Chain A
Amino acid sequence: MFEQIKETILQYVDVDPEKITPEARFIEDLCFNSYDFISLLGELEENFGVSVNEEEVVGLATVGDVMEYVEKLQQN
């Protein structure tokens, strides 16, 4: 899943792929703006066949947080 998310992230921002780690923070480290971030979640929703809840994404800050969230949605 990490590789798939990484590939999607690279379609949003022009960053060194090595900077995309589970610890990387979207806004501070990967230069995302808030609309990039929500669009990415929308795309992951489609790619992974899950349904993102607006209230639940408030605390997501790192790539790892998003991976964990998508995995949780898949399990449910």
Chain B
Amino acid sequence: MEKSRVKTLQDLIILSAEEFGDKPFLREKNGNSDVDTSFAQLCENSRKVSSFIAERSNGEHIHAAVIGGTGSAYLTAYFGTVCMGNVIVPLDAQLAGEDLCDHLRRADVSIFFYDKKFAPQLDDIKKGCPMIKTFVSLQDDENSQEFTMSKILESYGAMDWQPVKPSDLSSILYTSGTTGKSKGVMLTHSNLIDNTMCQDNESTPDDVLLSVLPIHHVYCFTCDILLSLRYGCLVCVNDSIFRIAQNLKRFKPTVMLLVPMIAETTYKRIKAVHESSPEKSMKEIADSVFGGRLKGIYSGGAYLNPELVMNYRELGIPIAQGYGMTECSPRISTANWKDESVGDVGTIVNGCEVKIVDGEIWAKSPSVMQGYYKNPEATAESLTPDGWLMTGDLGHVDEKNHLFITGRKKNLIILSNGENVSPEELENKFSGLDWVGDVLVYAEDGVITAEVYFSPEYLSSHSREEAVEQFRTHVDSINKTVPFAKTIHCLRVRDVEFDKTTSKKIRRNQAVQGEKLD
């Protein structure tokens, strides 16, 4: 695809349809058979969704949210919204209840495209979000009175899109914040296009990807979806996180984008099978696990152990590690499979400048966000007036432009599956309880731990056992309401108050002192 012709997401969709036409772009499971959506169909269907939105927006710019798993309907809602100049808000499919309403309200959403599994929550969402005028189910739903994607595609004609400007806002993506409340990262068309086009890789139209990461993450969206539109690759949809192993065998991908936890676990399994069936070589087992066509893996989202990279290389599967963040659409650095260096997170992508300020990585590029939506204070904390993004990560760059990450400046807990967990978000769930003096949440050997200091006042009239019981019950109730990755699995109780700063904030580096509860 001629880079100079691609300035906006609309250009990318139109040019991919022109260049790759009826070639399948997306493959989804439907029972034992597969359903394909071609590049041309994605463009045509997106134009129909734009016609539907135009009828409802009276010429005004609107924000539409989309929530659900990767699929043709999801992407059609996405591109139908942004290619006509409106703003899409992709939401985490694990959100629910008031949290979901809060995200919808804060992003000023007026049209909501939702996965059918959210249908039981619609009444509450309507009450909590009166500004949403239109609801569209991504799947057919005979029990619902709302619009459905398939009816829109049947009933509306394709819109002739007016050009959009590269500087137009295209999306608001929520990211975990250190203050406990997620922030809406504003990305323009040119932010996402810059990140898609800045670096050439080895992809070809013969490549087949298995997309396993959550689609609301920009890492998945840019690297699985936008790069496949650019190169004409086929993206196969992993229908459930439970079925990665089955789907690898079914779709036989040539390229995969993974987080380290998946690569680690898969390697562990290959090794275990080899130990129980030593007559099979590790390479044979790896071929059977991955489908036999895998050329290489791209890894991102969390720290990748260099030993694992070496282990995969021995299997003939190179892993290229990258680094980035939602605020940078996301790639700041990337590697290719031929790069033999170990321990770094790739080289800095074209067009991106990196400098190290007091040990912290700062990045400046056309991919850097416009700021956080309606949150100038948080924007000022992350972006300098002259456009440098302060990443909050510590690291250095070597003479060959390889980037190394040495730590996290922020408090965010980064689990090895790439999930970011804001400790404050979990700590906030302990506020207002009479038995809690203070609580600190942190990761201990990869396990989320809550350490509590019981309120002395509570202990003056209750036994310690009663307080421990309250603690356990409360953590159980929190665990039922948060995504699995955020559940608390280790409890600690301390008898000495936490050390605090002058502004009465708990110092975070003093954890793991309390007694561990079984």
Contacts and interface: CB of A to CB of B under 8 A. Distances in A.
Interface of A: 10-12, 14, 27-28, 33-36, 38-39, 41-43, 45-46, 52, 54-55, 58-59
Contacts of B484: 34, 38, 58
A39 B480 contact: no
A28 B484 CA distance: 14
A62 B447 CA distance: 17
Interface string B454-478: 0000000000000000000000000
B198 interface: no
Given A28-B489, A59-B480, A42 B273 contact: no
A59 B240 CA distance: 18
Nearest first, the 7 A-B pairs at minimum CB distance are: A42-B242, A35-B261, A11-B272, A35-B265, A42-B243, A27-B489, A41-B242
Interface in B412-429: 416-417
B262 interface: yes
B512 interface: no
25 contacts: A10-B272, A11-B272, A11-B273, A12-B268, A27-B447, A27-B489, A28-B490, A33-B261, A33-B265, A33-B416, A34-B261, A35-B261, A35-B262, A35-B417, A39-B242, A42-B240, A42-B242, A42-B245, A43-B245, A45-B242, A45-B243, A46-B246, A54-B240, A54-B242, A59-B480
A12 B272 CA distance: 7
A23 to B, nearest CB: 12
Contacts of A55: 117
Interface residues of B, number: 26
Contacts of B325: none
Interface string B261-274: 11001001100110
A39 B268 CA distance: 12
A57 to B, nearest CB: 8
Interface in B248-285: 261-262, 265, 268-269, 272-273, 276
B14 interface: no
The A interface, classified by DSSP as helix, strand, loop or mixed, is: helix
A34 B417 contact: yes
- Interface majority SS (helix, strand, loop, mixed), chain B: helix
A44 B484 CA distance: 19
Contacts of A38: 241-242, 484
A46 B276 CA distance: 20
Given A39-B245, A54-B242, A34 B485 contact: yes
A32 to B, nearest CB: 9
Interface of B: 117, 240-246, 261-262, 265, 268-269, 272-273, 276, 416-417, 446-447, 479-480, 484-485, 489-490
Given A12-B265, A42-B243, 5 more contacts: A27-B489, A33-B417, A42-B241, A42-B245, A54-B241
A11 B243 contact: no
Nearest to B94: A54
A11 B246 CA distance: 16
A36 B265 contact: yes
Most chain A CB inside 10 Å of its own CB: which residue of B240, B242, B480: B242
B500 to A, nearest CB: 30
Contacts of B480: 58-59
Nearest to A28: B489
Contacts of B417: 33-35
A58 B94 CA distance: 12
Given A12-B272, A35-B261, A52 B489 contact: no
A67 B485 CA distance: 22
Contacts of B245: 39, 42-43
A58 B96 CA distance: 14
A14 B276 CA distance: 12
Contacts of A58: 479-480, 484
Contacts of A27: 447, 489
